[in-house]
Chains A and B, each alone.
Chain A
Amino acid sequence: MIDIRSVSKTFSNGTVVLNDVSLRIAKGELVALLGPSGSGKTTLLRVVAGLERPDQGEIYFGDTDATRLSARERQVGFVFQHYALFRHMTVFGNIAFGLEVRPQAARPDKAEIRNRVEQLLDLVQIGFLADRYPSQLSGGQRQRVALARALAIEPQVLLLDEPFGALDAKVRRDLRRWLRRLHDTLGITAVLVTHDQEEAMEVADRVVVMNQGRIEQVDVPDHIYDHPSSPFVYQFLCNVNKLACRVHRGQAEIDSGLFIPLGEEYAQIEDTPGLMFVRPFDIEITSPDHPGTFPATFGHQAMLGPMVRLELIMASGQILEAEVTRARHGALNLRPGTPVGVLVKQKKLYLTEDIPVPTSGRVGGGTH
């Protein structure tokens, strides 16, 4: 449905925002563009919408080359982070806008417009707000209006730029699920920009992780979580312990004199610097004398709902974060200063020489 072919864009201040980005989005798919601010995700969305012109590359909608089409001609629904509702129009007026500005020949008559707007109001469940002005609505209601307004023009593609970014956590979670259900009902091709990995994982069919103007990885949520393709994706997807280490003959030295055994493939490598990633819940805490563990001291703890985050201090003073269930935490009976044994259940190692160095010049200066 949407075919992005080698799109590049550089801002006038020299910032490379998009660096040879290609992506195909299937009809009816909901794709999330995920990345930190300045990664180029919003610009990519705006390029697809026709709100920015790429320096290079093409955008195809189906078989049509849309690169030269204006935003007006592309018939995309665009939902802005801060809603961009017309303050001087009622909710009804906002939603009807896209139909009322059509050229005479294509414009539905008044009754038809009323009908369509009412359907959309029902769809986004805010029929009772039709005569209100945007300033009288809550954030979540405004975002629903923005969505209904974008859908009113029956777009081929729905583009959402951080649609829930300005909402508080609870409303955000509700709207997110609602959007997923809405998408399933409508079956519209949709692209969602977000910097919230949880949001991307929960809503999207596929997640596109972006960094510094490039696509790092495109995959379905489960797979991207289990098999991050780069250290960047690993760190971005969730909170992770990052340990600088030295790899030597099948072992990684993560602290002076502290070795962790590695797989076969590292047996031949000698004295090479590397980076080890360990997710907090892949760390098991045992008694200090347990075999296969290394020693650390318990520092302090933070309750995170069902989980407890523990701070473990290694001999060198380096800190590891571990997450355990409340039950396990109760069983451990830790006090600050308690010596513990640390067992790393799962880890991911990258040799420094294998980590790609970004080639683009200056990157950053995003839109948020």
Chain B
Amino acid sequence: MTPPPPSKPRWNFSRSGTLPGFGLTLGLTLFYLSLLVLMPLAGVFFKTAGLSGAAFMAKAFNDRALAAYRLSFGSALTAAMINMVAGLLVAWVLVRYRFLGKKLLDAMVDLPFALPTAVAGIALTAIYAPNGWLGSRLVPLGIQVAFTPLGIVVAMIFIGLPLVVRTVEPVLQDLDTQLEEAALTLGATRIQVFVRVILPILLPALLTGFALAFARGLGEYGSVIFIAGNMPSVSEIAPLLIVIQLEQYDTLGATAIAAVMLVFSFLLLLVINLLQVWRQQRFHH
């Protein structure tokens, strides 16, 4: 999908010599970002800074909020882990196997990027509701998906899958077949080749995909709220709690929770960037 990033940035020639437009484009970029992204985000922290420590704790870490964080984190973590395995499987099949309809399957992996989350949400609910397409078959087995935390995980799997597949796929594609051949001539079995050679090489990409899927699941709203059931402290995710607080005109409460979520988003962003650096440093000649 995305054109592969260059393996090595070419630092060795100066780029700023002859080309015009640096000031103009940099100015425009900074202006746009400040106005649209930085200033509004800073607002959250200004607003919460107005709260006393105790008031902030009461707003951001009351029982209902804690339950919401736990649910959001737990579901996003579970979904990201499932996606890490499933995403590797899908990427493996797409890169290494040849079969009828492969192109179609490849295009379909991006569906969660293209399908509006609300549509995904009502469709998943229709499938897993007790009277739904799959739900009606699962409920007799004692598996209730919709309106439970399990439903939240299902929705998060849906939206996170392409993130893992598209991160792992190019690395798997570029994997030198000679590495596997070398391992085989050295006496490794196929399983040893996978565990000791292929998996370690894919690991940074897998972790990046995991972190991306986790971050996406954590903030997800549209696809989750329809299937979640939204029972306070049971199946109420953190973003939903923000919306509910806003609807009850508790702007401060919403902001406090948003601040907590933002801090986690930034931490995850940092982790993802560090993973990227690690990948660059250790895995490129």
Which residues of A24-55 have CB atoms within 8 Å of chain B's CB atoms?
49-51
Scoring B184, B200, B283 by chain A CB atoms within 10 A of each residue's CB, the highest score goes to B184
Number of A-B contacts (CB under 8 A): 75
How far, in Å, is B11 (CB) from chain A's closest CB? 17
Q: Which residues of B contact A98 (CB under 8 A)?
A: 186-188
Residue pair B284, A72 in contact (C-beta under 8 Å): no
Q: Which residues of A contact B179 (CB under 8 A)?
A: 84, 86
Residue pair B282, A72 in contact (C-beta under 8 Å): no
A194, B154: Cα distance in complex, Å: 56
Which residues of B261-284 have CB atoms within 8 Å of chain A's CB atoms?
282-284
Is A61 interfacial (CB-CB < 8 Å)?
A: no
How far, in Å, is A93 (CB) from chain B's closest CB? 10
Is B197 interfacial (CB-CB < 8 Å)?
A: yes
Which residues of A75-89 have CB atoms within 8 Å of chain B's CB atoms?
75-78, 80, 82, 84-89
Is A259 interfacial (CB-CB < 8 Å)?
A: no
Which residues of B180-201 have CB atoms within 8 Å of chain A's CB atoms?
181-189, 192, 196-197, 200-201
Residue pair B196, A77 in contact (C-beta under 8 Å): no
In the complex, residue of chain B having the shortest beta-carbon distance to the beta carbon of A142: B285
Q: Which residues of A contact B16 (CB under 8 A)?
A: none
Residue in contact with A102 in the complex, picked from B176, B187, B200, CB distance below 8 Å: B187
Is A135 interfacial (CB-CB < 8 Å)?
A: yes
- Give B197-219 as 1s and 0s: 1 = Cβ < 8 Å from A's Cβ atoms: 10011010000000000000000
A78, B187: Cα distance in complex, Å: 11
Residue pair A87, B184 in contact (C-beta under 8 Å): no
Residue pair B184, A70 in contact (C-beta under 8 Å): yes
Is A149 interfacial (CB-CB < 8 Å)?
A: yes
A189, B224: Cα distance in complex, Å: 65
Residue pair A101, B187 in contact (C-beta under 8 Å): yes
Interface bracket on B: 20 to 34
Scoring A70, A101, A135 by chain B CB atoms within 10 A of each residue's CB, the highest score goes to A101
Residue pair B196, A97 in contact (C-beta under 8 Å): yes
- Give A98-120 as 1s and 0s: 1 = Cβ < 8 Å from B's Cβ atoms: 10011000000000000000000
Q: A82-B176, A84-B176, A86-B197 are in contact. Are A49 and B185 (CB under 8 A)?
A: yes
Is B178 interfacial (CB-CB < 8 Å)?
A: yes
Residue pair A78, B182 in contact (C-beta under 8 Å): yes
Residue in contact with B181 in the complex, picked from A74, A78, A97, CB distance below 8 Å: A78
A352, B167: Cα distance in complex, Å: 59
Residue pair B187, A72 in contact (C-beta under 8 Å): yes
Q: Which residues of B contact A87 (CB under 8 A)?
A: 201, 282-283, 285
Q: A71-B181, A80-B178, A84-B176 are in contact. Are A135 and B189 (CB under 8 A)?
A: no
Residue pair A101, B188 in contact (C-beta under 8 Å): yes
Residue pair B188, A88 in contact (C-beta under 8 Å): no
In the complex, residue of chain B having the shortest beta-carbon distance to the beta carbon of A87: B283
Residue pair A88, B283 in contact (C-beta under 8 Å): yes
Q: Which residues of A contact B189 (CB under 8 A)?
A: 72, 101
How far, in Å, is B81 (CB) from chain A's closest CB? 22
Q: A70-B184, A72-B185 are in contact. Are A101 and B196 (CB under 8 A)?
A: yes
Residue in contact with A88 in the complex, picked from B182, B192, B282, CB distance below 8 Å: B282
Residue in contact with A51 in the complex, picked from B176, B181, B196, CB distance below 8 Å: B181
Q: Which residues of B contact A152 (CB under 8 A)?
A: 186
Q: Which residues of B contact A82 (CB under 8 A)?
A: 176, 178
Is A133 interfacial (CB-CB < 8 Å)?
A: yes
Q: Which residues of A contact B196 (CB under 8 A)?
A: 97, 101
How far, in Å, is B30 (CB) from chain A's closest CB? 35
Q: Which residues of A contact B283 (CB under 8 A)?
A: 87-88, 135
Is A153 interfacial (CB-CB < 8 Å)?
A: yes
Q: Which residues of A contact B186 (CB under 8 A)?
A: 97-98, 101, 149-150, 152-153
A345, B140: Cα distance in complex, Å: 98
25 A-B contacts, Cβ less than 8 Å apart? A51-B181, A51-B184, A51-B185, A71-B184, A71-B185, A72-B187, A76-B185, A78-B181, A80-B181, A82-B176, A82-B178, A86-B197, A87-B283, A88-B201, A88-B282, A97-B186, A97-B188, A101-B183, A101-B187, A101-B196, A133-B282, A135-B282, A135-B283, A135-B285, A149-B182
A70-B184, A101-B189, A134-B285 given; 15 more Cβ-contact pairs under 8 Å: A71-B184, A72-B185, A72-B187, A72-B188, A72-B189, A74-B185, A78-B185, A86-B200, A88-B283, A97-B196, A101-B192, A135-B285, A149-B186, A150-B185, A153-B187
